[in-house]
Amino acid sequence: MRDVYTTDDLTNWQACCDEEGAPLKLAVLGFPITHSLSPVFQNAALTHLGRSERYVRVEAAPERLAETVSAMIAARFIGANVTIPHKQTALTLCDAAEPLAQRIGAVNTLQFRDGETLGFNTDAPAFARVVRDEFGVDLRDLRVLILGAGGGAGMAFAHQCASELCERLVLVNRSTQKAQALAKQLAPFFGGAKVDGPSARIAARQWAEQILREELETIDLIVNATPLGLRRTDPSPLPDSLISPHHLVFDSVYSKNRTPLTEAARRVGARSVDGLPLLVEQGALAFEIWFDAEAPRQVMREALRFIIAA
Ligand SMILES: NC(=O)c1ccc[n+]([C@@H]2O[C@H](COP(=O)([O-])OP(=O)(O)OC[C@H]3O[C@@H](n4cnc5c(N)ncnc54)[C@H](OP(=O)(O)O)[C@@H]3O)[C@@H](O)[C@H]2O)c1
């Protein structure tokens, strides 16, 4: 299978399917997209369930996203995943979107049904599920601090925390205004409670060591929703001195070995999880939207671990 297809390939999609000898009916759309591991575990799931459809990468430049989605509908795709930088724009291309995706303002999953494009955000519920599965606790019982709350993933996680009414939600972002705007948007979930201040259930705080130190004393779950850790040379988003053994640490980033943040958590004796279970879970939830059947999560996880270890 080719590593990447383009928007132009979609205009003669039958030839691409013939070349592969398979119906190419699902894709991940991004720009760039070569790094995406979604085809690895989605194709493992399709094979496991005896389905003939295949899942590919399609590189779509931002100015060609609408054209790409139209071409996928014409080529009778079942659906698609959407990743950086298309999640917000893709929402505007949907005929309908689930309420959560509308509130977040971004979709990561499209379903093409009866000529309509339906939008979903599976990052948010996947985050909640991974927290429950990995740490054995629900968001509603946690005081959560999100680093990178102004980005697509951070906003999705914050909306999930708010809709599950977590005990306290602290939003931190490099550019603080984005965290402040999000805190205002989410305040109604907490009964219109006061935004900010030490007793507020939702607060936007500046990314400064002393402020983080004070906040983290009473935080249960630390979430990294920044790309810090994607590159080998990246520092941990938090120094060891700010992490305590009582913290649960959730890193959206994944790598072959530990990420800088999960490594820092290990050093201080805190429990942690990297972004791999999230990657699988958001994909599994998308799979279930497309096929209305339970996704084989174990098969998906094993396929991913195998390729990452290789
Ligand atoms: N495992 C998974 O399945 C999964 C799913 C979704 C996302 N992710 C990961 O989550 C990360 C964020 O993705 P995204 O889609 O939310 O990206 P995004 O929309 O580009 O947002 C990036 C966020 O990180 C902040 N940021 C960027 N560089 C930073 C730095 N050097 N120091 C501090 N903050 C920085 C940005 O702050 P500003 O607003 O100040 O720019 C913004 O809040 C990526 O690493 C992505 O791989 C993983």
Q: Is 28 exposed, middle or buried (CB count within 10 Å of its CB: 0-12, 13-18, 19+)?
A: buried
pLDDT category of residue 196 using cuts at 50, 70 and 90: low
**Using N-to-C axis directions, what is the helix angle for 38-48 and 297-309, rounded to 10°?**
140
Supply the pLDDT for residue 277.
96
**Token pair recorded at residue 182:** 């999000």
pLDDT category of residue 195 using cuts at 50, 70 and 90: low
- Asked whether 150 lines ligand 1 (CB < 6 A), one says yes
User: What letter does residue 194 receive in the DSSP assignment?
Assistant: P
Q: Which of 35, 252, 259, 276 best tests ligand 1's pocket when mutated (most atoms within 8 Å of CB)?
A: 252
Supply the pLDDT for residue 256.
81
Domains defined along the chain, listed by start: 5-121+277-309 (3.40.50.10860), 124-274 (3.40.50.720)
Q: Which residues of 165-193 are buried (b: 16+ CB within 10 A; e: fewer)?
A: ebbbbbbbbeebebbbebbebbbebbeee
**Token pair recorded at residue 298:** 């174990």
Helix (H) or strand (E) holding 23: none
Atom of ligand 1 nearest to the CA of 254: 1
What is the whole-number distance in angstroms between the Cα of residue 216 and the centre of ligand 1?
20
Is the torsion defined by CA of 224, 41, 289, 116 positive or negative? positive
Higher pLDDT, residue 55 or 195: 55
| Mean pLDDT across 218-230 | 96
Torsion of CA 70, 75, 76, 79, to 10 degrees: -60
Q: Is 87 a catalytic residue?
A: yes
Instruction: Assess whether pLDDT exceeds 90 at residue 8.
Output: yes
**Using N-to-C axis directions, what is the helix angle for 152-163 and 176-186, rounded to 10°?**
30
- Asked whether 123 lines ligand 1 (CB < 6 A), one says yes
What are the beta bridge partners of residue 79? Answer: 26, 111
Nearest residue to 255 via CA among 307, 300, 303, 296: 307
Q: Which of 145, 174, 276 best tests ligand 1's pocket when mutated (most atoms within 8 Å of CB)?
A: 174
Residue pointed to by tokens 């100015």:
63
What is the whole-number distance in angstroms between the Cα of residue 106 and the centre of ligand 1?
14
pLDDT tens per residue across span 241-284 = 999 999 999 999 988 889 999 999 999 999 999 999 999 999 99
Atom of ligand 1 nearest to the CA of 234: 31
Supply the pLDDT for residue 232.
85
User: What letter does residue 40 receive in the DSSP assignment?
Assistant: H
Helix (H) or strand (E) holding 285: helix 276-291
What is the whole-number distance in angstroms between the Cα of residue 225 and the centre of ligand 1?
5
Measured from the Cβ of residue 10, the count of other Cβ atoms closer than 10 Å reads 22
| Mean pLDDT across 230-246 | 95
Look at 138-152, 159-173, 189-203 and tell me which has the smallest mean pLDDT. Answer: 189-203
- DSSP of 86-120, one letter per residue? -HHHHHHT-SEE-HHHHHHT--SEEEEETTEEEEE
Atom of ligand 1 nearest to the CA of 226: 24
What is the whole-number distance in angstroms between the Cα of residue 301 and the centre of ligand 1?
23
Look at 102-111, 138-147, 186-195, 287-296 and tell me which has the smallest mean pLDDT. Answer: 186-195
Supply the pLDDT for residue 194.
62
DSSP three-state, residue 24: strand
**Token pair recorded at residue 149:** 């709350």
Considering 25, 87, 184, 256, which one is annotated as catalytic? Answer: 87
Backbone φ and ψ for 250, nearest 5 degrees, come out as -115, 115
- Asked whether 229 lines ligand 1 (CB < 6 A), one says no
Query: Residues 218, 244: contact at Cβ < 8 Å?
Result: no
Q: What percent of the chain has pLDDT over 90?
A: 91
- Asked whether 174 lines ligand 1 (CB < 6 A), one says yes
pLDDT tens per residue across span 67-108 = 999 999 999 999 999 998 999 999 999 999 999 999 999 999
Atom of ligand 1 nearest to the CA of 156: 16
Supply the pLDDT for residue 219.
98
| Mean pLDDT across 174-194 | 90
Give the count of alpha carbons within 13 A of 89, CB side only. 18
Report how far residue 165's alpha carbon sits from residue 177's, in angstroms, rounded to the nearest whole number. 23
**Token pair recorded at residue 29:** 């759309």
Atom of ligand 1 nearest to the CA of 150: 43
Tell me what the pLDDT averaged over the chain comes to.
Answer: 95
Look at 153-167, 169-183, 197-211 and tell me which has the smallest mean pLDDT. Answer: 197-211
| Mean pLDDT across 173-188 | 96
What is the whole-number distance in angstroms between the Cα of residue 187 and the centre of ligand 1?
23
Supply the pLDDT for residue 15.
97
- Cα 208–chain centre separation: 25
What is the whole-number distance in angstroms between the Cα of residue 189 and the centre of ligand 1?
24
